[in-house]
Amino acid sequence: MGLESPAATAIGLLGGSFDPVHIGHLQLARDALKQLPLEHVRLIPAAQPWQKGPITAAEHRAKMVQLAIGADPQLVLDMHEIARGGITYTIDTLRELRVAEPARPLVLIMGSDQFARLDSWRDWQKIIETAHIAVAQRAGCSPSLPPELRAVVEARQGQIASVLSRAGGTIVEFTMTPTDVSATEVRRLLPQPRSTERSQRLSAMVPGPVLDYIDSHQLYRD
Ligand code: ATP
């Protein structure tokens, strides 16, 4: 998937369940924007992630992502996966995006926890051929890579600047301000009785407008 002439910018893609979106997601997207030649990052909530159980309704998760993005022009809510519905596979999303952007470099952004499991994703080798992958170290998470994935990393590892010379196929690393937050921890805290400590911890993990939305829609109560 080569390009006749190098593109000026790439498009960043950050998929997830965003159940709920938290500052780890925003930090990941913003650090990627600072270090990679990205025009913007699309935050793509999954309809039904294939590796997770029941999750909060898609309309709530999407609305929370929109509230977290606020007026940042470089972050964009992408509804492709929710609109497609059903179980979400990243390869289907990439194929859809490729129709609209046949030669544009696409950069799939992910934390190291998710990257370490990439070889369990549907058509994972095809994913790496279709888009570049940019991986950031996730705080408290240094998983070792399965051998087959490690071999692919060795063959495809590249410099950040090289993502503009091809539409996909390179694996790059970038650094992220460590942000020790997970949606699991946010969901664990939300049903607990109100206290100053709970509010302080939640405010440090979730953007204010998202917390207000969670409160007013009574999400994550049990
Ligand atoms: P859960 O706790 O429910 O598994 P999560 O917090 O891992 O959720 P996801 O929506 O599953 O959030 O993650 C989407 C993407 O964001 C993944 O690539 C994941 O690695 C990355 N990510 C999430 N939180 C962080 C974080 N604190 N630091 C770095 N990357 C993160």
pLDDT (tens digit per residue) in 119-152: 999 999 999 999 999 999 988 877 899 999 999 9
Contact 61, 45 (CB under 8 A): yes
Q: What is the mean pLDDT of residues 197-203?
A: 97
What residue ranges line ligand 1, CB within 6 angstroms? 16-19, 24-25, 28, 110-111, 113-114, 136, 138-139, 176, 179, 181-184
Contact 219, 64 (CB under 8 A): no
Decide: residue 185, CB within 10 A, 0-12 exposed, 13-18 middle, 19+ buried: middle
pLDDT at position 1, please?
46
Q: How far is the CA of 13 from the centre of ligand 1 (A)?
A: 13
Contact 40, 176 (CB under 8 A): no
pLDDT at position 6, please?
66
- Residue whose CA is at the smallest distance from ligand 1 atom 14: 16
CATH topology of domain 10-179: Rossmann fold (3.40.50)
Q: What is the mean pLDDT of residues 102-130?
A: 96
Q: Is the pLDDT of residue 192 over 80?
A: yes
pLDDT per residue over 34-78, tens digit each?
999 999 999 999 999 877 778 999 999 999 999 999 999 999 999
Sequence-ordered list of residues with C-beta below 8 angstroms from that of 62, at least 6 positions apart, any chain: 45, 77, 79, 82
DSSP-based three-state secondary structure for 110: strand
Q: 13, 14, 17, 186: which to mutate for ligand 1, most atoms within 8 A of CB? A: 17
At residue 103 the predicted structure's pLDDT band, cuts being 50, 70 and 90, is very high
Q: What is the mean pLDDT of residues 10-30?
A: 98
Domain range list for the chain: 10-179
Task: Tell me the whole-structure pTM to 2 decimals.
Answer: 0.95
Buried-exposed string 79-109: b where 16+ CB fall within 10 A, e elsewhere: ebbbeeeeebbbbbbbeebbeeeeebbbbbb
